[in-house]
Structure 1
Amino acid sequence: MTTIDDQFAPFAARMEKEGLPQLAIDTFKYYYERLVEGQTGLISEAEIEPVPSLPDADSFAADFAAMGEDALPRTVLLKLNGGLGTSMGLSKAKSLLTVKDGLTFLDIIAKQALHSGIPLLLMNSFNTQEDSLAALKKYPELWGDLPLDFVQHKAPKVVRADFSPADYAENPHLEWAPPGHGDIYTALITSGMLDKLIDAGYEYAFVSNSDNLGAVMDTSILGYFVEQD
């Protein structure tokens, strides 16, 4: 009888060959097992419960804003930059799409970071790292003591019919996919970036998608986190 370990062995071998860390392999195996068991990952409406209460940022005391200002030197701006713009005709990072006045998402992000004085950190994917870092070379002020990015892992694609690894002999690159934004926690650890941030004195990160230009740092909310710490 084939066990789940037997079924997963080809995936583990493929990931090990690519040099992926054990934590990434174990994380993928966890979700692979859920997939084979028939779980979809979907949460039905009947299972959803309303949050009983949330703090109202509009009513935060002025002290929170001051606390947030004090915490800015211990804060980084972390942008999730692993997605491609293929649906919009771009074979590069989505953040390299031109959006206004000849500027790309990444240009605007860089300017926002420089204006705020908060270090910029990208979580790239194997699809986006090279092009994104090349585009940021025009902003030498961003390149400081911290690395400008770390790379999320990649996950082997799974054949729906039999849960085997997908094979594309003519283009092995297509056998892999980015694992999604949730990989931020695993990738921060395995890349060594978490240790680098802690060693450099950073305690907080503002996290948002690279195509969400409306997401900006609110010092009152940062101060609330400081107060709750």
Structure 2
Amino acid sequence: MRAAGVMEAAISAFRHNYEALCREETGLIPEEAIRPAEGLPVFEPGSEGFAPELLSQTVVIKLNGGLGTSMGLQKVKSVLEVRPGVAFLDLIVRQIVALRQASGSKVRLLLMNSFSTSEDTLGYLARHADGGFAEASEVELMQNQVPKIDEATLAPAEWPANPSLEWCPPGHGDLYPALVGSGWLDRLLADGVKYAFVSNSDNLGAVLEPGLLKHFAESGAPFLMEVTRRTPADRKGGHLAVRRDNQRLLLREVAQCPDADLDAFQDIDKHQYFNTNSIWLRLDLLKQRLEEGGGVLPLPMIRNRKTVDPRDKSSTSVIQLEVAMGAAIECFEGAQAIEVSRARFAPVKSTADLFALRSDAYSVGDDGRVELVEFRKGVPPVVKLDDSYKLVDSLGALGVPSLAACEEVAIEGLVSFSEGVILRGKVAFSAPAGGVKSVASGTYSDGEFAL
């Protein structure tokens, strides 16, 4: 790792997890060790007021290390367009500019890039150079890389055919060693920055909310996690719980759940709260906690079993050691969680998500906020696309119908929506194989339409 230029803070964090692996720790959190988190405070937008002086002490950190490969994109996902000529990164910049204008202070932005996304991101941000967003020294926090572990020998995996596949990202829990090892933590503190709001760059609902910042600052808590109520779609996502032995909040991911406890893990009435992966940090208290731990936050290890070449299932079996950013909630005495509106959790994980986002079910403001139109009351349209639309390029031919009043839309086969198509209620369209079928302008309400 040193030979590859990995920072010492990341090496220490990896050593912590590798030694746990060698001790044959599973990283599993059984149901009997926890109880459900209940009765969390609920944040109501506008309830806390606006405190511009706090914004001058805040940095917005966006986790931007992911490629859009699952959607056929060979670039960083945040260059996907939400509206013609407007990508995720443009909206993130708009949000920061709006906060700067509202507060009169230079609210900071950091993008936690990976080796795969750095060049694309900085290249795209050249269009925002006038605002100071294109300089790596001002906006970039680099994610680390760690070795994949040969499952049979526990040695670093070797793959001469493509040595880059011997490495993997350590999960978004790498935020903490990256902040330390890069020097950014000390640099921010020296500049009077006390608070950090961290979220995924593909979660366009996660905007720095001044009222939440005020709530966090007044709480005195070292760490605050935004959670929302789980739905059937969230059964596999990490949930919040309380550890019975020390009564601390914890995050349990599905990879940390014993097979025997999967039914309980997926019980959304029992474990009600879903981690949105948006967190708030007190940077001075983070530094103090790291110093107490010898420079390492003792985050729970997550074992991910894969093959060294993910496209070759016959290649060497490996273990990828990962840590979750939200798992740090257990590392801080007095850490808290708060329930927020589902509207603050709008990630783009598939072309179906992107199809909905590009429609009039969402509004895109000059301040970079992406919000469901008001009468939807925070409920997004359900979009079901068949495998014909797995790749981003396929959406261009599909078109963008009105989904403002659509509850659910399902599409099978190659379809092209004409200008002026309005979908209402629950609708389904099916087209036979062998060509693209056009949907003529008009309103389509509650029904199945064979083309």
Partner residue in 1 for 2:126: 137
Identify which range, 39-48 or 77-86, moves more after superposition. Answer: 39-48
Task: State the alpha-carbon separation in 1 of the partners of residues 32 and 15 from structure 2.
Answer: 28
Change (3 A) 1:136 1:59: closer
RMSD: 2.2
Could you give the per-residue CA deviations for residues 149-205 of structure 1, whole angstroms, max 9, x where no partner exists? 110211111122222211122322221111111111111011001111111111111
Task: State the alpha-carbon separation in 2 of the partners of residues 142 and 186 from structure 1.
Answer: 28
Partner residue in 1 for 2:257: none
> Which one has the largest radius of gyration?
2
Partner residue in 2 for 1:9: none
Give TM-score, length-normalised by structure 1.
0.83
Could you give the per-residue CA deviations for residues 40-67 of structure 1, whole angstroms, max 9, x where no partner exists? 333233333223543332298x5x423x
Task: State the alpha-carbon separation in 1 of the partners of residues 138 and 71 from structure 2.
Answer: 29
Indicate whether 1:175 and 2:159 are aligned: no
Task: State the alpha-carbon separation in 2 of the partners of residues 92 and 175 from structure 1.
Answer: 21
Task: State the alpha-carbon separation in 2 of the partners of residues 142 and 159 from structure 1.
Answer: 46
Task: State the alpha-carbon separation in 2 of the partners of residues 56 and 98 from structure 1.
Answer: 32
Task: State the alpha-carbon separation in 2 of the partners of residues 33 and 102 from structure 1.
Answer: 48
Task: State the alpha-carbon separation in 2 of the partners of residues 140 and 130 from structure 1.
Answer: 15
Partner residue in 1 for 2:316: none
Structure 1: runs of 5 or more not aligned: 1-14
Equivalence map 1:142-161=2 (5 Å): 142-143=131-132, 147-161=138-152
Is the CA contact (8 Å cut-off) linking 1:81 and 1:122 kept in structure 2?
yes
Task: State the alpha-carbon separation in 2 of the partners of residues 35 and 176 from structure 1.
Answer: 17
Give TM-score, length-normalised by structure 2.
0.44
Is the CA contact (8 Å cut-off) linking 2:112 and 2:140 kept in structure 1?
yes
Partner residue in 2 for 1:84: 67
Secondary structure of 1:133's aligned partner: helix
Alignment partner for residue 58 of structure 2, among 30, 53, 75?
Answer: 75
Is the CA contact (8 Å cut-off) linking 2:45 and 2:211 kept in structure 1?
no
Could you give the per-residue CA deviations for residues 117-144 of structure 1, whole angstroms, max 9, x where no partner exists? 2322101111111111111110124317
Secondary structure of 1:70's aligned partner: helix
> Match for 2:152: what amino acid?
A
> Match for 1:130: what amino acid?
E
Identify which range, 122-131 or 88-97, moves more after superposition. Answer: 88-97
Is the CA contact (8 Å cut-off) linking 2:9 and 2:178 kept in structure 1?
no
Q: CA deviation at 1:115?
A: 2.1
Partner residue in 2 for 1:51: 37
Task: State the alpha-carbon separation in 2 of the partners of residues 81 and 47 from structure 1.
Answer: 34
Query: Which structure features the higher share of helix residues?
Result: 1
Query: Which structure features the higher share of strand residues?
Result: 2
Matched length: 212
Secondary structure of 1:221's aligned partner: helix
Q: CA deviation at 1:92?
A: 2.1
Identify which range, 217-226 or 91-100, moves more after superposition. Answer: 91-100
Secondary structure of 1:49's aligned partner: strand
Could you give the per-residue CA deviations for residues 67-91 of structure 1, whole angstroms, max 9, x where no partner exists? x332011111110011122211122
Partner residue in 2 for 1:219: 210
Task: State the alpha-carbon separation in 1 of the partners of residues 174 and 30 from structure 2.
Answer: 23
Change (3 A) 1:131 1:46: same
Indicate whether 1:209 and 2:200 are aligned: yes
Indicate whether 1:122 and 2:111 are aligned: yes
Change (3 A) 1:38 1:94: farther
Task: State the alpha-carbon separation in 2 of the partners of residues 177 and 69 from structure 1.
Answer: 40
> Match for 1:134: what amino acid?
G
- Ranked by relative contact order (alpha carbons within 8 Å, sequence separation 6 or more), the top structure is 1
